[in-house]
Amino acid sequence: MIRLIRFELIKLIYRPRIYLCLGLMVVLVALIFWGLKTEGDNAVSYVVKSLEKNFVINGQVVNGYFVTFIILNTLWIHLPVLIVIITGDLFSSELESGTIRLVLARPVGRSQMALSKFIAALFFVLIFILSWALVSLWPALILFGKGDLLVFFNGVQILEEKDLWWRFISAFGFAFLGMASFAIFSVTLSFFIRKSLVTILISIGVLVISTLLQTLSTSLFTGWQSFLITYHLTQWQLFFYTDIDWSAIFGSVIWLVSFSGICIVAALVRFNRMRITE
């Protein structure tokens, strides 16, 4: 099993698109830095003016923590697209090229082979999220400084600087769980679809449709939220409430873990029933 995982990781390392996706993520973060550095104060000035009637605001509102929060809130829908470009064809590319037949001709357990692909996908997501956190939080603190965090949703949440580290670590940890679940879903699709491009497009299509339904859930599709993966992907925001709704967070954790487990089982059943001549 360890040998299979090592083999899958080596194949991932030599895929140029991995470095392209990481580069695109860095570019997106840099663009947000540039935009907030040049126009960030003006963008939040009208909100701050309304707050100054009731609060005394000292320090910089647009600080490193605020910038990192904006990055989290902006890229949560874009990063799954970059992840699925890598994970969406981990199996379908071999199925499409026919190399899987050569592998199956050897005495290798199919379940172990399938699980090694999921583990490789999770390893990539972990590296991706760690890189995201690294290029977001540390440069933001250097460029914009430190301070308390003002979050402008569901009213105004004022969070003290001393409580922010564990909140951001928890948010990035939850982001890993959400992105990992979506990566597992895309890998599962690759066990059922021969064409790599079709697998990636279907995964992105599911993400787009889920986002649309979530947007309309307050008016047209009430009660659908708990069935949408994008709803659970956004639950990292709960870590930035003054009073954290832990029950909602644990509910989303259970949903994402259960969804991932169902996907893995479906992939294993499909792969074990697949004929070598298919």
Burial class from Cβ neighbours inside 10 Å (0-12, 13-18, 19+) for residue 116 reads buried
* Half-sphere exposure for 157 (CA within 13 Å, toward CB): 19
pLDDT-flagged residues of the chain (< 70): 39-60, 98, 103-107, 153-155, 217-223, 276-278
Query: Global pTM?
Result: 0.86
Side chain identity at 236, as an amino acid letter?
W
CA dist 182 and 8 (Å) reads: 19
Crossing angle (nearest 10°) for helices 16-51 and 64-75? 120
Helix (H) or strand (E) holding 49: helix 16-51
CA dist 211 and 181 (Å) reads: 16
Tens digits of per-residue pLDDT, 178-237? 999 999 999 999 888 878 888 889 999 998 888 888 777 666 656 677 788 888 988 888
Q: What is the pLDDT of residue 219?
A: 62
End-to-end C-alpha distance for the chain, whole angstroms: 25
Side chain identity at 127, as an amino acid letter?
I
Q: What is the pLDDT of residue 87?
A: 86
